[in-house]
Every structure is written in C-alpha cells, then in structure tokens.
Amino acid sequence: MTALTPDYDADPERFLSNARWPHDDVHPYVAERFAAAGARRVLDVGGGHGSLSRLLPALSMTCVLVDISPTMLALAPRPAVRADGARLPFNDESFDAVAALYTLYHHEDPTLSIRESRRVLRLGGLFVACSAGRDSTPELAEVIPHWGTASTFDAEDSPDIVGSVFNAPGDQLEVQRWDAPMHTLSDADAATAFLRSVGLMSEDAARSAASVLDTPLTLTMRGCFVYATKA
C-alpha cells in the first residue's frame, strides 16, 4: 500500500475539475449527519477549498478548516489553518465533530491523523472519514492509471483502521457502504473532468482517455463512510 501523492499545489486544476460535472456528493450527507448529532463546532481536516465547511453555517454550525496546501487554503472559507492532520494545532476536546473526507489516503500512516482527530474531539463527539474502494468505477478500469491499486486508506480497510484508534471502552463505530450505479458521465467533457479528478492525469491524457469511452456512461461507485463516536 502506498500513500497517494498530493498534487493540490502542483496541479490544482486536477482536483478542482471535480466541480465541472454534475454529480452526487458526500459532503451534504455528512453535514446533515453532523447537524442531526447536535454538533455546533466542527473541524474539517484536509478540507481543501471548503466543500463541507461552506454547507455548515446554514445548519447552525461553525467550522475550522485545516489543510496543508496553500493553494487550497487560498480558496477556502475562513477560518482556515495551514497544518498537517497528524499534528493538529488545537487543544484536547475542542470540537463537537471532526471530518476527514477523501484525505487520509495521503498519509503513510493514517492512524496518526485519526488519533489527532480523536484527541481534539469532545466526549460524545462524532468523527467521520470516507474513501472509495479499490474496485470503484470498474467501467473505467482500462483507462484510469493504476486502477485497483491499494492506497493506505481504501474502503476495504478503512473501518479496521478507524476502529484501531476508536477502540476505547464505549467508543462506537458505524460503517455506511455504497455500491451502486450512481454517476453518469453525460459526454466527453464530463468524462474528461471526472478522469482528471480521480486519475491523477494531465488534461490532455484525460481528454484522450475520455475520447474512447462510449458516453453517456453510468459508473458504479463503491466506498464507505466510517463514523466513530468518542466515549
């Protein structure tokens, strides 16, 4: 297993291309879950340009966003702090909820960041992480570079990884998996944007790969949320 190399400063358009095609997204589901849990102060670890944090004020929550990328932080809503998720600059039990969405696979040892998240979470607070499965989007197996290669935090392993940290008496773990046709790439432009966002490939390479796809193409998405409550 290898950590995915972050390229948010070297090639920010690769990540931002995700916003260029219409699709369902995990962030509204997490925002609603935090609201239902009564969270008021949220930490978004590896929050990028703020997909989650922008949703929270309308649900009566405040959010502090943390990211290591200066480029993403420049686009993020405030307050935003540049920090490594494995070394959070906050006191113990400072937050009602902590999110680490599509970010832990950038860590060689994701448990370091999860431990920090648990440390800054109040008693009874809610942590959530999510990641795709190694076999997500099988329809694109032939065009996504290194499709199926294991990272350090895939959906196949993420419940056990989170559970290895949230293992104190009374800690609770809940896994919500998805495995269904969810996203449809309507045309070559949508396919190019999607391939850019998930394939770590250049614009030209993504457009070339998209040109061989028969669109519209519906993708089978596989992954999971891992929710953990700190006792």
- Closest-CA residue to 151 (of 112, 104, 197): 104
Q: What is the pLDDT of residue 151?
A: 95
Per domain, the residue ranges of the chain are 12-179+222-229
| pLDDT at residue 21 greater than cutoff 80 | no
Q: What is the pLDDT of residues 49-97, one digit of tens each?
A: 999 999 999 999 999 999 999 999 999 999 999 999 999 999 999 999 9
| Average pLDDT, rounded, for the chain | 94
| pLDDT at residue 121 greater than cutoff 70 | yes
| pLDDT at residue 28 greater than cutoff 70 | yes
Q: What is the pLDDT of residues 156-184, one digit of tens each?
A: 999 999 999 999 999 999 999 999 999 99
Q: What is the pLDDT of residue 24?
A: 74
**Fold of the CATH domain 12-179+222-229:** Rossmann fold (3.40.50)
Sign of CA dihedral 85, 31, 119, 167: negative
Spell out the alpha helix ranges (H) of 4-122: 12-16, 27-36, 70-75, 110-120
